[in-house]
A = this chain, B = another copy of it.
Amino acid sequence: MDGEMAKEIERKFLVINDSWRDCVTSATAMRQAYLSVNHDRSIRVRTSNDETAKLTVKFGKTALVRDEFEYDIPFEDAVEMISFAVGSVIEKVRYTVEIGGFTWEIDVFEGAFQGLVIAEVEMRSEDDRPMLPHWLGREVTGDRRYSNQALATERLKPEVVHAVSN
Contacts and interface: CB of A to CB of B under 8 A. Distances in A.
Interface of A: 1, 3, 5, 35-36, 38, 41, 43, 55, 57, 59, 67, 69, 71-74, 76-77, 80-81, 84
Nearest to A37: B36
B55 A67 contact: no
A35 B57 contact: yes
A57 B81 contact: yes
B72 A1 contact: yes
Q: How many copies does the complex hold?
A: 2
B69 A77 contact: yes
A101 B117 CA distance: 58
Contact of A36 (B36, B73, B74, B84): B36
Contact of A55 (B41, B71, B80, B84): B71
A132 to B, nearest CB: 34
